[in-house]
Amino acid sequence: MKIISVFFTWLVFCLALPVTAQTQPGTDPIRFSLNEAKQYALNNSPVLLNSARDVEIARKKLWENTATGLPQADLSSSYAYSPKLSGLTSVFTGGDTTGGGGGSPFGFSINPEDLKTSFSMNIRVTQLIFSGQYIVGLKAAKVYASLSELANSKSVIGIIENITTTYFTLLIARESKDILDSTLKTVQKTLFETEQLYANGFAESTDVDQLKILVSNIKSSLSVTERQIELMDRLLKFQMGIPIDQAIVLTDQIDPLVTVMNFEAAVLDSFKLENNIDFQMLTTQEKLMKLNMQVNMAQYLPTVAGFYNRYEDFDNNFFNDQSPNMFGLSLSFPLWTSGQRNSQVSQSRLDYMKAQTNTRMASESLLIQYETSLSEFLSARDIYVMQKENRNLALHIYEKSLKKFTEGIGSSLDLNQTQSQYFEAEGSYFNALMSLVSAKSKLESLLAKSAN
């Protein structure tokens, strides 16, 4: 017998892990509506936490690149000690490098102990005045920061879509369990009554066997559904950023959620390519490729920087004639690189052309994707309405068949068939509901705008 577990199969493969987590004693369950689950995920999802950190890293990177063009200061110092001076030094010390007598031919002498030590300090301040690569690189850093913000917005949209799908799937799994529980109780009661009738000669053994098969099938489906509920519960808590051992309660119900959700195509038919996150990311990447080409072209330009140098000799060394203050300019102009720069510019130009082509292709692809998604949504909406009516009809038929059987005017085979038909209709209804929710979420993701 086919039960509604078909649409849960992919989760069994994705989450085929031992379910050993239990609710900690004394831990109160947390209650979430769908909107509350989304908001909690936006604040606590580990995916979004890392995405936000990427945005902050990009901002720090922007300041790092900016700082390279601001004043830079370096401090250096040195200390040296020479226990034995060279013979040349004896000319200035009067021939005695140990501090003894003698005379210097220059008419003065220097204490050799003053020449054995040397202690100096140098401070250098530089300021970039012009650099083509710096100017273009700064623009590229700003564009990269905006790209990271777009990536964060895309992560937010993805989390909202995933939470919606998982929340609905968990609701469906729990409602399916309730239906199976209720049906099992009814069939078990019917089985007990039929066994009593059979014992008194008023029923056939095939009726008892048919009902036993029904009970066994329902129990099997119920076991699978309970397992799926555990997996769905774990997945939802993982997506939201909740500890696995924390119990949660879903406060929304399926029918009210479907009622309040806006499924009108007229409202959704407002796709604007420039608002699409994927298109914005592609155009931003195109800008980066253009700036990368300009950075390589800027290698042909000179780099000019100014500097100030302050030098201090704390030993007043006689041999030091360096000026304590120095101002100047430095110029760097690459002359010849054997075609290396030209090759880099050519490569970056080709990358930029590829990015332009990718953007054009993506714009056409996104338009087709939107039209396809809108068509899928409209089809899913019609199928959902039809399957909901079929489910209600199948339930009505099953209830009538059950009543006929208990009154002794219906066969167990008819009851078995109508119950299978009802379960299949229930499964088709749930599958149609999930297709509708998935199509709506996909369409909303295409229409979602960046939060920046």
Please check the confidence at residue 94 and state whether its pLDDT lies above 80: no
pLDDT at position 112 is 59
Which domains are assigned to the chain?
4-70+131-302+336-447 (1.20.1600.10)
DSSP state of 99: S
Picking from 104-113, 324-333, 348-357, which range would have the lowest pLDDT averaged per residue?
104-113
* Residue type present at position 244: I
pLDDT at position 267 is 57
**Residue 96 CB neighbours (<10 A):** 14
Please check the confidence at residue 86 and state whether its pLDDT lies above 80: no
pLDDT at position 270 is 74
pTM: 0.76
Please check the confidence at residue 19 and state whether its pLDDT lies above 90: no
When comparing pLDDT for 418 and 79, which is higher?
418
The tokens for 134 are 């710096």
Q: Which DSSP string do the residues of 191-242 spell out, in sequence order?
A: HHHHHHHHHTTSS-HHHHHHHHHHHHHHHHHHHHHHHHHHHHHHHHHHHHT-
Distance CA 161, CA 440 (A): 9
Q: Which range among 4-13, 93-102, 165-174, 269-278 has the greatest average pLDDT?
A: 165-174
Picking from 86-100, 150-164, 188-202, which range would have the lowest pLDDT averaged per residue?
86-100
Please check the confidence at residue 18 and state whether its pLDDT lies above 50: no
pLDDT at position 185 is 92
Going by C-alpha positions, the residue among 292, 419, 436 that lies closest to residue 373 is: 436
Q: SS3 for 394?
A: helix
Please check the confidence at residue 315 and state whether its pLDDT lies above 80: no
Query: What average pLDDT does the segment 228-243 reach?
Result: 94
When comparing pLDDT for 8 and 220, which is higher?
220
Residues 394-451: tens digit of each pLDDT = 999 988 988 888 887 888 788 888 888 988 999 999 999 999 999 988 888 888 876 6
pLDDT at position 312 is 79
Residues 21-30: tens digit of each pLDDT = 333 444 789 9
Banded pLDDT at 9 (limits 50, 70, 90) = very low
pLDDT at position 23 is 39
Query: What average pLDDT does the segment 174-192 reach?
Result: 91
pLDDT at position 115 is 60
**Residue 415 CB neighbours (<10 A):** 22
Residues 259-296: tens digit of each pLDDT = 877 655 545 567 888 889 999 999 999 999 999 999 88
